[in-house]
Amino acid sequence: MSNPQLTPVSYVVLGLVAQGATTSYDMKQKASRSVGYFWNFPHSQLYAEPARLVELGLLDEMREAEGRRRRVYTLTRGGREALDEWLREPTTDQTQIRDTGLLKLFFGDGMSPAEIAALAREQEEAHQARLTVYETIEDAVANPSHAAVVRAGLLHERTFAEFWREIAATPP
Amino acid sequence: MSNPQLTPVSYVVLGLVAQGATTSYDMKQKASRSVGYFWNFPHSQLYAEPARLVELGLLDEMREAEGRRRRVYTLTRGGREALDEWLREPTTDQTQIRDTGLLKLFFGDGMSPAEIAALAREQEEAHQARLTVYETIEDAVANPSHAAVVRAGLLHERTFAEFWREIAATPP
DNA sequence: CCTATCATGTAATCCGTTACATGATTAT
DNA sequence: ATAATCATGTAACGGATTACATGATAGG
């Protein structure tokens, strides 16, 4: 019986706070070098979403007394429970892949083989670049859960770089 | 210089109409067994979006004279050009993977190895099921562009099924 | 002929994005 | 001291989702 008002971003915020993030900017920093790689969102959500979660009683908010008077968030008991419950409940939603390159390929009947090859090379390069990033950070990730997810990203990029390489070689 | 008012869904609609879809329900049917596999959206968008595209002069709309008086759409010259231009312009946006299972794994520090293994088995099963679907339809897809995209989906599911199998075997 | 499901849409809500704005730090 | 950039937010808009609603068609 999970709370239907909570979106994936809600759990990203709860999870980041659980992992020690305290302010919105802190979440942004942590996310940009981890979960943000495969689940991206603008920083404004990291300011809006915590406010919602405070409303729902899942986060506590305190203001710093001086300096920037930033909002500092901590998990409430309810927030911890909501996160734990979500982690343990079955996952129904299917993976969504939002890939503009694939979309173009799908509708690319009208393109010439040369144009398709150009698209494919461009896509291969992009995936290869990300693959390199993942390979670079792979060993620096201490947290095993994070490392596993980096590995998933790495495998995905490798698969797709390879896919596009084949398309470039023999356009459909 | 593509039209900034057009979203990916806009191009899905333009593309589906270009491939012969005529009514919203027709798009829904076609999408559900092709592009919908990896880029999903509710059917209401296939009623709202064409209206927008008519506004922009990219689709023509006609009503059937009798029966259900459905709206029948056709590409305008401008619509065809917008689609062609989009197909040929460089693709800047990065692939987004929205995978709740990965998100849970990422925040799964607090889970026990057994719980992580349970998540992994559940995910492996889901990806395996999709893999089977893709393998089943693979040969039935006549359109080479569509077949290529099915192949991409197939490779993705295979990669992720394998990934989760490893996680289930040795939880981080 | 009646009922279930298919087919076609509309309305309202809200999340996510874009754009704007401004106060702190740091570098020169 | 001043400029540049970092850090922290707010406001507004619009697309995406959910929910609702109802007219056709087919099956029994």
A96 contacts B38? CB cut-off 8 A: yes
- Give tens-digit pLDDT for B9-24: 999 999 999 999 899 9
Mean pLDDT of B104-110: 92
Q: What is the pLDDT of residue A1?
A: 45
Q: What is the pLDDT of residue A5?
A: 83
Q: Does residue A121 sit at the B interface (CB-CB below 8 Å)?
A: no
Mean pLDDT of B138-144: 88
Q: What is the pLDDT of residue B29?
A: 92
What region does A31 belong to: left with phi over 0, alpha with psi -120 to 50, or beta?
Answer: alpha
How many CB atoms sit inside 10 A of residue A33's CB? 12
B46 HSE (CA, 13 A, CB side): 24
> Taking CB atoms and an 8 Å cutoff, what residues of chain B touch A35?
103, 106
Candidates A121, A133, A131; CA nearest to A164 is A121
Indicate the range of A16-30, A69-83, B55-69 predicted with least confidence: B55-69
Check if residue B43 sits with its Cβ under 7 angstroms from strand C.
yes
Nearest CA in chain B to A146: B106
pLDDT at A73 over 60: yes
pLDDT at B68 over 90: no
Most distant CA pair in chain B, distance: 63
Provide the positions of strand D that have an atom within 7 A of a protein CB: 7-11, 15-19, 23-25
- Give tens-digit pLDDT for A7-59: 999 999 999 999 998 999 999 999 988 898 889 899 999 999 999 999 999 99
User: In the structure, what pLDDT confidence band is assigned to residue B110 with cuts at 50, 70 and 90?
Assistant: confident
Q: What is the pLDDT of residue B69?
A: 77
Please state, for a pLDDT cut of 70, what percent of chain A lies above it. Answer: 95
pLDDT at A140 over 90: no
**How far is Cα B83 from Cα B74, in angstroms, rounded to an integer?**
13
Considering chain A, what is the average pLDDT of its residues? 92
Residues 43-82, chain A: which have Cβ within 8 Å of B?
A: none
User: In the structure, what pLDDT confidence band is assigned to residue A142 with cuts at 50, 70 and 90?
Assistant: confident
Q: What is the pLDDT of residue A4?
A: 65
Phi then psi for residue A167, to 5 deg, are -60, -45
Our CA angle for A12, A14, A15, nearest 5°, is: 60
> Taking CB atoms and an 8 Å cutoff, what residues of chain A touch B103?
8, 11-12, 15, 35, 39
**B101 in Cβ contact with B119 (< 8 Å):** yes
> Taking CB atoms and an 8 Å cutoff, what residues of chain A touch B141?
none
What tokens appear for A146 in the block? 């994070």
Mean pLDDT of B77-87: 96
What tokens appear for B31 in the block? 């999408």
CA dihedral (B15, B20, B23, B24) in degrees, to 10, reads: -30
B94 contacts A19? CB cut-off 8 A: no
**B106 in Cβ contact with A146 (< 8 Å):** yes
pLDDT at A65 over 90: no
In sign, the C-alpha dihedral spanning A121, A123, A127, A130 is positive
